[in-house]
Amino acid sequence: MSNSNVLDYLNDPSPRTLGRSPLEWLDRLHKPTVVRVAGRDRSRTRAMATLLHGNEPSGLFALHRWLIEQHTPEVNMLFLLGGVYPAKIPPAFSIRQLPEGRDLNRSFKEPFEGEEGAIAQAMLAELHKAQPECLLDVHNTSGTGPAFAVTITNDAAHQALTSLFTDRLIMTDLRLGALMEYSEQEVPTVTIECGGAQDDQAHQLAYEGLVRYTSRPDVLSLEKAEWDVAVLRNPIRVELAPEATIEYRLEPSGQADLTFPPDIEHRNFGIVSPDEPLGWIGEKGLNILTAISHNRTENMEQVLRVKDGQIYPAQALKAFMITTNPVIAKSDCLFYAVKATGEPIF
Ligand SMILES: [Zn+2]
């Protein structure tokens, strides 16, 4: 299949064609779309993907605003809008992927199966053609919380890209078929998690980061970075057993296997010490939870412990991507954690 069957192309789109709002623009998009904008220096290109998940609109909102404002970027820009199909399903921007489809951001690997595989392959072909000097992939988190970046490579260039948006970089050795693994092609690549999909702050951050990304002559040098970047290495994932129940309440009802307070999201990226309770556990105890590292080892004892029905960190931890959405908590994971120092727990 040729790329033009899978993708649509917009070259230097005029503001008239973009609708008055991101929603109007989305109405006019019919396929995953490549947007190219010519820069002052036409010999170089930077790339940005976004909307790989249909319910994560900050990157598209930022791009719409940036295109309407008609900025001239420092170098050529290649934008890749991935999950146009799920984003368009009413109500717009409400579902991550098509009901029968795959996760597009797990599809950037052989054998490129199904419709998402074809989209991923076509996006990779566009990147290969454009030979960008770097690549960003802009997402939102499911819960609210501060922004962070994710990478498979931690060096100065990846930290510099991160610093356009945030001061936290998570380094992972896990390979899932995510677009950020393009870093392996010697193109510095980071995923930016702008914060919650419903947060105006996240949309604003995506826009400000995009302006920095497109307007600076050099985005890969750490000397030019806005702030120091804290690197968190190989977080473990804490998952809830499929049959377990979770509640978000100020105190346990006695009905659930796990109870977190409704404001648990405020713990995102803060340090939790071993004497601070995180929530309540039911009669099944910690057996309903697993803590998995990037190399698939499991060791709950180093993460959580139970005292008088309450859960405490087993050591000082930094947790993130804590959600208060029970569906996400069950289908994806409860939270990620590293040691308070940023080092892996195990
Ligand atoms: Zn995402």
Cα 163 from Cα 157, distance rounded (Å): 10
Percent over 70 (pLDDT), the chain: 99
The alpha carbon of 310 and the centre of ligand 1 are apart by a number of angstroms equal to 32
The alpha carbon of 255 and the centre of ligand 1 are apart by a number of angstroms equal to 32
* The two three-digit tokens of residue 213, written as one number: 């990304």
The alpha carbon of 57 and the centre of ligand 1 are apart by a number of angstroms equal to 10
Question: Is the pLDDT confidence value at 1 over 70?
Answer: no
The alpha carbon of 272 and the centre of ligand 1 are apart by a number of angstroms equal to 26
* pLDDT (tens digit per residue) in 65-98: 999 999 999 999 999 999 999 999 999 999 999 9
- The mean pLDDT of 310-334, rounded to a whole number, is 90
Distance linking the first and last C-alpha atoms of the chain: 44
Identify the H or E element spanning 237. Answer: strand 236-240
* pLDDT (tens digit per residue) in 207-236: 999 999 999 999 999 887 777 899 999 999
Virtual torsion, Cα 129, 88, 52, 28, nearest 10 deg: 30
Q: pTM, whole model, 2 decimals?
A: 0.90
The alpha carbon of 120 and the centre of ligand 1 are apart by a number of angstroms equal to 14
* pLDDT (tens digit per residue) in 264-301: 999 999 999 999 999 999 999 999 999 998 887 888 99
The alpha carbon of 53 and the centre of ligand 1 are apart by a number of angstroms equal to 5
Residues 180/50, Cβ–Cβ less than 8 Å: no
Q: What is the chain's percent helix, strand, coil content, to nearest 5? A: 30, 25, 45
The alpha carbon of 109 and the centre of ligand 1 are apart by a number of angstroms equal to 17
The alpha carbon of 145 and the centre of ligand 1 are apart by a number of angstroms equal to 14
The alpha carbon of 40 and the centre of ligand 1 are apart by a number of angstroms equal to 31
Residues 169/232, Cβ–Cβ less than 8 Å: yes
The alpha carbon of 197 and the centre of ligand 1 are apart by a number of angstroms equal to 10
The alpha carbon of 140 and the centre of ligand 1 are apart by a number of angstroms equal to 6
The DSSP output letter for 86 is: H
* The two three-digit tokens of residue 205, written as one number: 């951050």
Cα 197 from Cα 323, distance rounded (Å): 12
